Structure 1
Amino acid sequence: MNTIRSIWKLNTIQLQHIRAAHRVRGKAPIYCRTIKERIDELNYKDELYTTRIDIGFPPQKNPKLLSRVEKTEHMKKIKSDKELERKARKCELHLDLDQAKKDWLLTLGPQHKQQVADHYGIFDHLYGEGYFTPYLNLDIFYDIKDDSCLPVYCGNVIKPAEASERPIVNYESDPNTLWTLALTSLDGHLTESDKEYVHWLVVNIPGNQVEKGDVIAEYLRPFPLKGTGYHRYVFVLYKQNKEMSYDIPSVTSPTLEGRTFVTRDWYQKYQDDITPIGLAFYQSDWDSTVKSFFHDILQQKEPVYEYDFDPPYTRPQEWFPRRQPFNLYMDKYRDPKQINKEYLLRKLKNEDPFKAPAPPLKFPNAQLLPRGMPTWLKLHERKIRLRWGRVNDV
């Protein structure tokens, strides 16, 4: 009998998981999943939907890429060069930045661009599980007048006013090849969050002469909405296997009609004849020109996303408010427009359009106020002299 009671008691303790005379909630550790099992469950991803597919060109052998042995020998040679070390230590070593950029583009540049695009979620929102390595460099510049231009790199910020006109696009190409250039906004659709707007689409470009291509969608400037942060605008260059005629309605006016676009569906339809090879993108946020673009060009009200704060609470009026300035207490229950009107009339009372304004008081607090003036009015006058409070709103 004692043996049965001991076994029953042991099982009860294990089920209740009593530790230090306290019953711990949940199952005992012997019945729970391990931390590894729990982490594997949280990080589980279906391979059918998460396996990434390279939709670009295969990597090509670059004669400038050094093998591991050649890199080791090259580093030994540099470290043993005493003259090079002396110039670097004395800040006398000069580098050709243009040549360094060319070497970077021919070696690790495409991989770095791909990593940056992955960081910004460009491939996920364009192609879903697809991605590509941009082996062809795109030189894109916005002309901002005054003999200066603004380049498009990988995620730099360009304001809508600076991108109001279509950019200059250049790349290295054989004149006998055909290309397609597409510019889409990944975050700017006004009604459907899972779709894009095509801002520019030029097809059948001979070589690198973009101006001679067939324009399906005319250039549309970026218009990020106020309160929505930064929007991504992506240029993708596709190489064509033949002359293409896309089944897309032509858009020749700067409107939003016919510009709804889904890159993944469009590419899936023509993937046998086009292959992405070039990539560049920038970010843009709201400025004042977006408002005029909606009003003057799109002929519609500008959507604004801002938080509407509730008006401050004003308690009911009292018959005799204690320890509160008379004027400030009464202003709580007056129309703010009427208060601003009084300040404006007071300011214009002493203004003369034919005379220069009077210089401000050098020592405002040293100027005496009338002896019989109430305390609340003295505080009011001091604030006006020091330009504190509401007087600055006029």
Structure 2
Amino acid sequence: MATGLTGWWRRMRRQLFLGPRWRQQAVFWGGGALIGVVAVAFAKLADSAYQLLQVMTGWSPWVMLAVTPLGFALLALLTERYFQGSQGSGIPQAIAARQVASPAGRQRLLALRLALGKIGLTLLGIVCGASIGREGPTVQVGASIMHVLGRTGGRRYEGLLLAGGAAAIAAAFNTPIAGVVFAIEELGRSFQQRNSWLVFSSVIVAGLVSLALVGNYTYFGQSDALPTGAGTWLAVVVCGVIGGLLGGGFSRLVILFAFGERRAWLAGILRHKVAFAAGCGLLIAVLGLLTGGATYGTGYDQARGLLEGTADPGFWYGPAKLAATLLSTISGLPGGIFSPSLSVGAGIGQQLSVLFPSVPPATIVLIGMTGYFTGVVQAPLTTVVIVLEMTAGTAMTVPLMATAILALGASRLVCPQPIYHALSHRYLSSAAERNI
């Protein structure tokens, strides 16, 4: 009898704690926790990089005329020679990796060396004055972490890369709900219901780790934005349409340069990648001089200042930041567009607020952020949830949803393809050419 009970207990222990199901859960939960730690560390390092940039511009604003173009040239050289596949946001790579069937193809996009290079090059880009963010790169890093853990375990768990990207968004912005929505809407168009709880649990773990390390906070602080009658709804229409058109135009240009080899006139320019990056850097330095340095970096301080009414980066901040972000993106450097695009939207909202004197400026800024960001990424649900979670502005839920829908329609008139999915085809085509 005792022998039978002992054998039963051993079988149950193997099934409960050592079986395939528990190994799978350990990978998802452990990966989520690790992504949370890495995302918080990345955020702290990005803040330090921006502070270093401010120290340099404090010596003399003119120093950036040398630092930015030379820094961009160095970054382009390092990216092309040693970290091929780390260019741009990182979200297209995560999307492409989910569609590449071969392990070698996924490894080319999600190698640990590439993830470490992505972090280092993004930080160096911020120091050099690039208008880039860390959120998109965090998605590629998160997917890489999950990829490595899956390979270490000798298994390929379905939904693993999806969970990594979603957990990264949750930890980077401290927005767990947005992480889940982002996974469904942007990363996984064919979301698997049977794996949904594993993805959700990874997001929760990453969010809890971020919460434990940095506390409960809203990314852009507490917004006092409120809908105030007919003026708000007129602003919804104007900001939705203008933001959508501008965001769609931005995405169309980024896609154009990403596939520049298809056009002879552009292919000739892009053939000299280091020189082209240096030229983009020089133009960004000029924009920085004209705006008092406001266009450098992620744009976080400017967007938060506009939302809270504590800072005024200038009437032309929105268009200038848009130009700086476009130049940073097409230069081919690693770096995301999440934070810069939200900041551009805030600047556009500031400009348009003069048309609606009866509406609080913070309300128009919030609507402007939603309109432009939706226009860029064409993911309305993700945009609304991210903006609401980052500002605790739940009173603006319905106006922001209406803005996002209008912006999506306007953006598609200019750019029929969502930017991340369009750019992912570049990496899928490369994998197909190598037969991997």
TM-score in terms of structure 1 length: 0.21
Larger RCO of the pair (alpha carbons < 8 Å, separation 6+) = 2
More strand as a share of residues:
1
